[in-house]
Amino acid sequence: MFIINCPYCGERDQTEFTCHGEAHIARPEKPSEVTDEEWGKYLFFRNNPKGMHFERWTHDHGCRRWFNVMRNTVTDNIIKTYKMGEPRPEIPNE
Amino acid sequence: MSNQNRTTYGGKVDRNKPINFTFNGKSYTGYQGDTLASALIANDVHLVGRSFKYHRARGILTAGSEEPNAIVQLGIGARTEPNIRATEIELYEGLEAASQNCWPSVNFDIGAMNNILSRIFPAGFYYKTFKWPPSMWLFYEHFIRKAAGLGQSPTAKNPDRYEQKFFHNDLTIVGAGISGLLAALGAGRSGCKVLLIDENPELGGYLLDYDFSINEKDGKKWIKNITDELNGLSNVTILKRTTAMGYYDYNYLTALEKVTNHHSELSNTLPRERYWRIRSKKVILAQGAFERPLVFADNDRPGIMMASAGQKYLARFGVLPGKSVVLFTNNDHAYMTAYAFVKKGAKVTVIDTRESVNTKITEKCISLNIKIYKSYSIIKTYGDRKVNKIELQKVDKDQGQLIGEIESISTDCILMSGGWNPAVQLFSQSRGKLKYDLKLNTFVPDKLVKDQKIIGSNNGQFNLEENLNESYQAGFMLAKELNFNSVENIKWTGQEEIGFTHSDVEPYMLGKKKITQGSKHFIDFQNDVTAADIFLAQREGYISVEHTKRYTTTGMGTDQGKTSNVNALALMSHIHNKPVDEIGHTTFRPPYAPQTIGAIAGRSVNKLFDPERKTSIHEWHVGNKAVFEDVGQWKRPYYYPKNKENMHDAVKRECLAVRESLGILDASTLGKIDLQGPDTAKFLNMIYTNAWSQLDIGSCRYGIMCNEHGMIFDDGVTTRIGEHHYHMTTTTGGAARVMSWLEEFLQTEWLDMKVFCTSVTEQWSVLSISGPNSRVFLQDLTDINLSKESFPFMKFREGQVCGIKARVFRISFTGELSYEVNVPARYGKFVWEQFIEHGKKYNITPYGTETMHVLRAEKGFIIVGQDTDGSATPIDMNMDWIVSKKKEDFLGKRSFTRPDTIRPDRKKFVGLLINDKKTVLPEGSHIVEKALKQPPMKMLGHVTSSYYSPTLGHPIALAMLQDGLNRMGEQVLIPLMSGKVVEATVSDTIFYDKEGMRNNE
């Protein structure tokens, strides 16, 4: 059970949040112009790394804001939380 | 004779307070302070249960939470609990307990036949035997389930109350033995908020049972001084009888406190158990260690127990488990127990697996008349219901064989000690890594996770003095890290007569019979796993430690292998001739010990299981005998039976009232979202499949939302209230989902759009009036001009209704002339009652969700989630008209041209007319081309909605049918579970008022 540092509210218990899968999956600017394969990638293909993962979370039972989380899937340590629109952070060495 | 094994003095039981209890129906007496186990031994009851697989006679192996054998059925009736460790049950007046897994009695158990037949029950027996043929499994399963399992679950409802407590603090310490107490002191003196947890009723742990001194003072007094000081610190909370069950990420722990379990009377004020949910900045584990059994032939007879358990029964309870005792050991420390037993008058013989024993011990043994057999092993034990004789023989360790004469000794108790294993279960749960210590011959903590320490014998530190100093320092340092300053450590000195020395881990002792030929050297007592089973698993290729565990079931069961794990691993290491490190260990998972489900549920039972949502009109529905339906958490009127009407008759009456005159529905549960901001129209264009740019202020529009896969996920009517102000409605069940969906795109994809979404579901009561008389009825109660010209279909007006400011939407889900009157929720019931009163002359009829469903089905309106199931596009639902061809983009649009969504043979939404005009099809029925006697049959689709239509006087159904639009007028077959096959004709989905004239009136 994590403690998650909501960028808007501070540290809260995981029960207040929902995870929504991988972050930084941009919706194609012009969907009508992408191929079926590109559209399929956007819809269905996600990373499942052992190690650092970027994911989207919402603080449902709180401020209801969406934000991004950098989490190590091996240790479950949350390295960083950051607001939507902010760039993907560098993966720290070790 | 009662309490015949009780010593004349000693122990901490209160001999002035006798306690009566029954075991297997027989009455006994124990004392205040006894456990069930100590009281049974005191009364010379050693056979307490039958083993899981072979039904072998089993006694009491340990004196703590690691007990694998002595698990009993505690209590009777609704409060009965299975698999409770007799070693942990505090005796109370009137306690009733019984043996498990035996019939007709523990002394004469029919199932013990399994022991004689054990050659045909090797590891993997079930897997091998009941695998074939596959179709027989259901037959086998019935009998296997009957034979399996230990205790009985109660069949009646649990009358007890359980509570939960959330606790946040600086430091939690698990285990209040000497290490835990000192750590608590080291931190507690600084003022930081400490929680100290121990599963026993008394603090002090293992040292309560042994003689030792600290700073040259008596250790037991010293423990009392520390406990007194801790009790005086207001920042230190001490929980006794509390077992830490789970240790999760970020120092989140769960613990189960037995509050009144040990009381004879149910408490009116206190819960039975309290489940603690603890979040700590720092955690110290100080759970100590478990003594390791020795694996020798027939090492499971009643009367064979751990040396430390014997010590505890003697020292703590004043119970002497045997008078003619054999101590079987591979280490020095266990000799303490030999001395203690001799002191109380027992005759003790020591069998030591080692070739030499130090002089100090040898000399003391001579003075106490204790005979030591060095380099010997027990090769066989005898005794049906209690051990009465052993055979022993000298071992040539180099050659790996028994040599010399077989000797035999009469005995009534074997105490065994194979060394100690740190209790690393919780540490491992917290993802701490373990390493195999070659000196201690056991797994010890290696890498810690964040903000955690592990101390004392729990950390492999068995030296008393080092332990004392490290433990205090650990508490001191963690407090300091949290900026609390405590009293600096003073140097402690501590003495035990015999300290811990390292001991070998011995995979098994040689026995009279070859181990691979089925001799019973038990490794896991609870699951009846023998050394031979481990050998077998390796031979058959189950070499990974996780495979061996599952194949043999070693380490499973209610004790989760607390006594057996390391021995099993050592044996695997021996078989493969590989270091234990390379064998690895299985994963420890919560809970640490069995726990009641009731405690996990806490107060979230019955009415508090799930919140109930009620509209502001709810009381009226209750008063008017509505039958309710759960829609998500909402309670919605299903129908309103009048004069003993059944559902069918009530729904029929309600339907006809709407079609003929006037009905009223409480639609307050509809999801409602208030949308404001300059980009709202642009946003709606992206969210809905149809166009929103041209919607005038005061107009309503129906919309469908699709996900990016192009599948329908919600629908509803959205109305433009003002220039940049819209009112969106969603399905009742989808309200939260839609809200989240809108926010997702506003917050993650279109951050530049200026739109605010606010849930207003509970702010508005929605009274939907429907029927040809709704206009004349409502006109009397409102200042809004309801004329067809002034207020046409799909428009919105604001005005007074019954003197309340209201929003009125002219939309219809029934196909009739209809108005949805929205008033602030606090006026909902008032306006409803006014409507009922004034509607009398039009026979106003309240109707529920079932009537609503029938009326909408007559019109072919879909219900998202009933007619659609997340795999239907608007095109599949025959709703091409709502999919904009002009808009360049909206959510889901691109997916409408995916190869799968343009497949010509997709299922399409159609109507079904049942040929016999009588049968109402069960929803979910399959539609087939050809009806066969039994499946499989080629399926063409399924029925999504089905009702008897009172308006039409015959049943109707809606269905998803492969290539349905090209099958209009065709005959299809619907086989029912009963074997009957129903014939139906494919039709249009609109059954009534096909031109849609009625709602345009």
Report pLDDT digits (tens) over B494-538: 888 888 877 888 888 888 888 877 779 999 999 899 999 999 999
Cα–Cα dist B660/B59, whole Å:
79
At residue B120, the pLDDT reads: 65
The CA distance from A35 to the nearest CA of chain B, in Å, is: 9
Confidence at residue B697, expressed as pLDDT on a 0 to 100 scale: 97
Identify the closest residue of chain B to A44 by CA–CA distance.
B709
Question: Under an 8 A CB cutoff, do B708 and A40 touch?
Answer: no
pLDDT, greater one: B576 or B264: B576
d(CA B219, CA B237): 23
Contact assignment for A66 to B748 by CB distance below 8 Å: yes
Contact B650, B641 (CB under 8 A): yes
Report the pLDDT value the prediction gives residue B54, as an integer from 0 to 100. Answer: 85
Window 238-267 of B: residues touching A by CB (8 A cutoff) are 248-250, 252
The yes-or-no verdict on residue B147 having pLDDT over 80 is: no
Give the CA dihedral B49, B55, B57, B60, nearest 10 degrees.
Answer: -40
Which helix (H) or strand (E) covers residue B360, if one does?
A: helix B359-367
Tell me the sheet residues that pair with B252. Answer: B248, B279
Is residue B813 over pLDDT 80? Answer: yes
User: Is B114 a residue whose pLDDT tops 90?
Assistant: no
Q: Which residues of A touch B740 (CB under 8 A)?
A: 58, 60
Confidence of residue B873 (pLDDT cuts 50, 70, 90): very high
Domains in chain A with CATH codes: 3-83 (3.30.2270.10)
**Greatest pairwise CA separation for chain A in angstroms:** 43
Nearest-by-CA chain A residue for B431? A75
CA distance A67 to chain B (A): 8
Which tokens is B405 given? 């004469």
Which residues in A lie closer than 8 A to residue B450 (C-beta atoms)? 77
User: Average pLDDT, stretch A57-83?
Assistant: 95
User: What is the reported pLDDT for B144?
Assistant: 62
Q: Do the beta carbons of residue B675 and residue B683 sit within 8 Å?
A: yes
Q: Is the pLDDT score of B576 beyond 90?
A: yes
pLDDT at B515: 84
B625 touches chain A (CB under 8 A): no
pLDDT band, very low/low/confident/very high, at B53 (cuts 50, 70, 90): confident
Strand partners, B213: B218, B495
Set of chain A residues whose Cβ sits within 8 Å of the Cβ of B894: 28, 31-32, 34, 39
B867 has pLDDT over 80: yes
The answer to whether the peptide bond before residue B201 is cis (omega within 30 degrees of 0) is: no
How far is Cα B7 from Cα A94, in angstroms, rounded to an integer? 61
pLDDT bracket for residue B126 (50, 70, 90): low
User: Is the backbone peptide bond immediately before B641 cis, with ω within 30 degrees of 0?
Assistant: no
> Is the pLDDT score of B683 beyond 80?
yes
For residue A8, list chain B residues with Cβ-Cβ distance below 8 A. Answer: none
Q: Check pLDDT > 80 for residue B665.
A: yes
pLDDT at position B106 is: 74
Q: What is the pLDDT of residues B85-109, one digit of tens each?
A: 999 999 999 999 999 877 777 777 7
Residue B611 contacts A where some CB pair is shorter than 8 Å: no
Give the minimum alpha-carbon distance from A94 to chain B in angstroms, rounded to a whole number: 15
Question: Best of B245, B747, B887 to disrupt the A interface by mutation (most A CBs within 10 Å)?
Answer: B747
Between CA B338 and CA B350 the distance in angstroms is 8
Nearest CB to B743; choose among A42, A64, A77: A64
- At residue A38, does pLDDT exceed 70? yes
Distance CA B862, CA B902 (A): 21
Decide if B740 touches A, using CB distance below 8 A: yes
The alpha carbon of residue B763 is apart from the nearest alpha carbon of chain A, in Å, by 19
- pLDDT given at position B690: 96
B814 exposed, middle or buried (CB, 10 Å; 0-12, 13-18, 19+)? buried
Do residue B449 and residue A3 have CB atoms under 8 angstroms apart? no
Report the 10 Å Cβ neighbour count for B360.
12
What would the mean pLDDT of B325-339 be, rounded to a whole number?
96
pLDDT band at B803 (very low <50, low <70, confident <90, very high): very high
ipTM topping 0.85: yes
Under the banding of pLDDT at 50, 70 and 90, the label for residue B807 is very high
Q: A32 and B888: CB-CB below 8 Å?
A: yes
Host H or E run for residue B469 = helix B464-481
- Chain A with chain B: Cβ pairs closer than 8 A: 54
Residues facing B290 on adjacent strands: B421
Residues 6+ apart with CB under 8 A from B372: B350, B351, B352, B357, B362, B365
Query: Residue B134 has what pLDDT?
Result: 67
Q: Does A42 touch chain B (CB under 8 A)?
A: yes
Tell whether omega for the bond before B591 is within 30 degrees of 0, i.e. cis: yes
**Mean pLDDT calculated for residue range B385-408:** 93
Question: From CA B127, how far away is CA B552, in angstroms rounded?
Answer: 11
Q: Which residue has the tokens 């004069």?
A: B643
Helical packing angle, B735-748 and B680-687, nearest 10°: 110
Mean pLDDT of B883-912: 95
The pLDDT of residue B232 is above 70: yes
Q: By the 8 A CB rule, do B946 and B960 touch?
A: no
Per-residue pLDDT at B370 exceeds 70: yes
Distance CA B165, CA B278 (A): 8
Average pLDDT for B288-292? 95
Mean pLDDT of all residues in B907-921: 97
Q: What are the distances in angstroms from CA B821 to CA B167, B559, B688?
A: 48, 63, 24
Distance of CA B633 to the CA centre of its chain: 22
Residue whose C-alpha is closest to residue B153's, from B589, B598, B550: B598
- B502: Cα within 13 Å, side-chain hemisphere: 8
pLDDT at B146 over 70: no
Nearest CA distance, A69 vs chain B (angstrom): 13
* Mean of per-residue pLDDT scores for chain B: 93
Cβ atoms of residues B545 and B572 within 8 Å: yes
pLDDT greater than 70 at residue B131: no
Query: Mean of the pLDDT values across residues A69-93?
Result: 93
Contact B899 A3 (CB under 8 A): no
What integer is the mean pLDDT of A67-87?
Answer: 95
Please report the pLDDT score of residue B145 as a whole number: 61
Which range (B42-56, B768-782, B914-928) has the least confidence?
B42-56
The pLDDT, as a whole number, for residue B268 is 84
Average pLDDT over residues B150-177: 93
Instruction: Flag if B898 and A39 touch (Cβ within 8 Å).
Output: yes
Are B903 and B871 in contact by the 8 Å Cβ rule? The answer is no
Give backbone dihedrals phi and psi of B481, rounded to 5 degrees, phi first. -60, -25
**Test mutation, B742, B756, B894, chain A, max A CBs within 10 A:** B894
pLDDT at residue B1, as a whole number: 65
Neighbouring C-beta atoms of residue B819, cutoff 10 Å:
24
Task: Give the C-alpha distances (Å, rounded to integers) separating A26 from A67, A85, A90, B896.
Answer: 14, 11, 18, 20
Q: Choose between B909 and B215: higher pLDDT.
A: B909
Q: Is the pLDDT of residue B143 over 80?
A: no
User: In this predicted model, what pLDDT tens digit does every residue of B757-766 receive, in sequence order?
Assistant: 999 999 999 9
Confidence of residue B141 (pLDDT cuts 50, 70, 90): low
Give every CB contact of residue B34 below 8 A, 6+ residues apart in sequence.
B13, B19, B42, B90, B91, B317
Kindly tell me if the per-residue pLDDT of B373 is higher than 80: yes
Share of chain B above pLDDT 70, in %: 97
Beta carbons of B347 and B34 less than 8 angstroms apart: no
- Select from A2, A28, A66 the Cβ nearest to the Cβ of B744: A66
Chain-centre distance of CA B52, in angstroms? 24
Strand partners of residue B324: B347
Q: Is the pLDDT of residue B121 over 90?
A: no
The reply to whether omega before B824 is within 30° of 0 (cis) is no
B137 near A CB under 8 A: no
